């Protein structure tokens, strides 16, 4: 069976205010063309279809169009909600949509109900695990702790129990939206840390032939190739410069063996991260290639040059971000703000800010309150999609 694994479309997202809807439309056209050309048997979309819980009209229109095109090809689609999606909104009319071969999996309590596909070698059970916000789903799933590992483990226990009841020889695929340990993040992913721990071990997904992951925006291979992130189809931050954007084309053999290759996705422009003095950036021939790229410029001049952005755009018309990181500092020994926050999560940045403005570290109780407040804010973004009732038609 040939599967096309994609994720993290983030329809409606921009890159430093640069509208990407046209580029996203090109990507979706490319996806449909790939399905047709490669004779794909099923499309797997591992979450973050939209960039916001309440997506823009343009984003909804793109989503509607691609679902219609895939339905016309009679290719099944299995799609889960991610941490950027509203499960309730994305899951509306899922029962009706399933009749067209588009299977929306947004309800945590239905994660163990597979979409059953079949090829010449027999059945394939495809399970969709939507993003699981630990505090909102722990009791529903009977998980022991409020943690990503605990709730995903509970969901996977249900999946393995269902799989054990399937006919002998049934192959298995799981879609999940999570941060698996060993994966490499980028600046464009929303922090999902709970209690300071955002990741789950790969062993959570033991017993499955292929795990189609979403959340991390770089294509990655984990678990010896059994677990894969497709990554986002477009770059949504300059930290993704140099990444090969694409989708995974997965051939699932008769006994669960995998043959996988990447299908590149066309990019609207390359990303360029340039560093140097303003004069160096404006004159160096080595930067000629970046004149048509989206540019992040980091200036190292000891003082901020006048009209820096205007002058940069004279050579690099698509400069989107301007940073200052002087190499000759004033002698106070302090790093730039960018250096101080690099690699830190939201809670570490918040406690660092307290220390900066107050001159003393946050007390342990204060640090716990800050982290709890940040996690509560993140939960609120998903709460409307995790009510007790399920979307109308979801049981169909």
Q: For the ranges 63-72, 97-106, 170-179, 375-384, which has the lowest average pLDDT? A: 375-384
pLDDT at 209 over 80: yes
Q: Given this model, what pLDDT does residue 104 score?
A: 96
pLDDT at 395 over 90: no
Q: What is the mean pLDDT of residues 193-215?
A: 91
| Enclosing H/E stretch for 251 | strand 246-252
Give the pairing type, strands 102-105 and 77-80: parallel
369 vs 49 pLDDT, higher one: 49
Q: For CA atoms 270, 273, 278, 279, give the dihedral sign.
A: negative
Among 171, 199, 246, smallest CA distance to 7 is for: 246
Q: What is the mean pLDDT of residues 202-213?
A: 97
pLDDT at 160 over 90: yes
Q: For the ranges 67-81, 110-124, 347-361, which has the lowest average pLDDT? A: 347-361
pLDDT tens for 223-240 read 999 999 999 999 999 999
Q: How far is CA 152 from the centre of its chain?
A: 17
Domain layout of the chain by residue ranges: 2-268, 271-381
Q: What is the mean pLDDT of the chain?
A: 90
* DSSP label of 110: G
Q: Given this model, what pLDDT does residue 190 score?
A: 86
Q: What is the mean pLDDT of residues 300-313?
A: 95
Among 7, 11, 234, smallest CA distance to 129 is for: 7
As a whole number of angstroms, the distance between CA 263 and CA 245 comes to: 8
pLDDT tens for 150-159 read 999 999 999 9
Residues ≥6 apart with Cβ < 8 Å to 36? 73
- Report the percentage of the chain scoring pLDDT > 90: 76
pLDDT at 388 over 50: no
Q: Given this model, what pLDDT does residue 197 score?
A: 75
pLDDT at 385 over 50: no
In this structure, what are the phi and psi dihedrals at residue 83, rounded to the nearest 5 degrees?
A: -70, -15
As a whole number of angstroms, the distance between CA 396 and CA 390 comes to: 11
pLDDT tens for 251-299 read 999 999 999 999 999 999 999 999 999 999 999 999 999 999 999 999 9
Q: For the ranges 40-44, 67-71, 338-342, which has the lowest average pLDDT? A: 338-342
Q: Given this model, what pLDDT does residue 390 score?
A: 41
Q: Given this model, what pLDDT does residue 95 score?
A: 87
Residue 393's alpha-carbon distances to 28, 91, 92, 97, 109, in angstroms, are 27, 9, 7, 9, 15
Q: Looking at the domain 2-268, which fold is it?
A: Purple Acid Phosphatase; chain A, domain 2 (3.60.21)
Q: Which residues pair with 50 in a beta bridge?
A: 11
Q: What is the mean pLDDT of residues 25-43?
A: 98
Residue 280's alpha-carbon distances to 43, 54, 273, 286, 308, in angstroms, are 47, 44, 14, 10, 12
């Amino acid at each position: 069976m040939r599967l096309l694994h994609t994720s993290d479309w983030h329809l409606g997202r921009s890159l430093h205010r640069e509208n990407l809807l046209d580029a996203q439309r090109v990507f979706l056209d490319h996806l449909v063309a790939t399905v047709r050309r490669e004779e794909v048997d099923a499309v797997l979309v591992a979450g973050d279809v939209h960039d916001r819980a309440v997506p823009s009209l343009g984003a909804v229109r793109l989503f509607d169009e691609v679902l219609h095109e895939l339905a016309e090809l009679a290719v099944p689609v299995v799609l889960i909600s991610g941490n950027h999606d509203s499960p309730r909104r994305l899951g509306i009319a899922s029962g009706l949509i399933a009749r067209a071969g588009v299977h929306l999996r947004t309800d945590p309590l239905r994660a163990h109900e597979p979409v059953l596909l079949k090829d010449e070698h027999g059945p394939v059970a495809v399970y969709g695990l939507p993003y699981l916000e630990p505090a909102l789903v722990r009791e529903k799933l009977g998980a022991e702790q409020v943690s990503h590992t605990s709730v995903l483990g509970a969901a996977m226990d249900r999946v393995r129990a269902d799989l054990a009841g399937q006919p002998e020889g049934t192959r298995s695929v799981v879609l999940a939206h999570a941060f698996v340990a060993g994966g490499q993040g980028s600046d464009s992913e929303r922090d999902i840390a709970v209690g300071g721990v955002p990741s789950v071990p790969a062993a959570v997904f033991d017993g499955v032939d292929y795990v189609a992951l979403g959340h991390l925006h770089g294509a990655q291979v984990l678990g010896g190739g059994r677990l894969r992130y497709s990554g986002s189809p477009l770059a949504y931050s300059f930290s993704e410069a140099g990444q090969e954007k694409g989708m995974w084309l997965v051939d699932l053999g008769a006994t669960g063996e995998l043959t996988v290759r990447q299908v590149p996705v066309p990019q609207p422009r390359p990303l360029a991260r340039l560093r140097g003095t303003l004069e160096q950036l404006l004159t160096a021939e080595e930067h000629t290639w970046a004149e048509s790229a989206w540019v992040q410029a980091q200036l190292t001049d000891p003082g901020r040059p006048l009209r820096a952005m205007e002058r940069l755009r004279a050579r690099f018309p698509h400069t989107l971000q301007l940073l200052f990181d002087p190499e000759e500092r004033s002698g106070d020994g302090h790093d730039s703000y960018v250096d101080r926050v690099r690699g830190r999560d939201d809670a570490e940045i918040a406690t660092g800010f307290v220390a900066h403005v107050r001159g003393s570290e946050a007390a342990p109780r204060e640090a716990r309150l800050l982290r709890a407040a940040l996690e509560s804010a993140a939960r609120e973004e998903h709460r409307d999609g995790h009510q007790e009732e399920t979307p109308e038609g979801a049981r169909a």
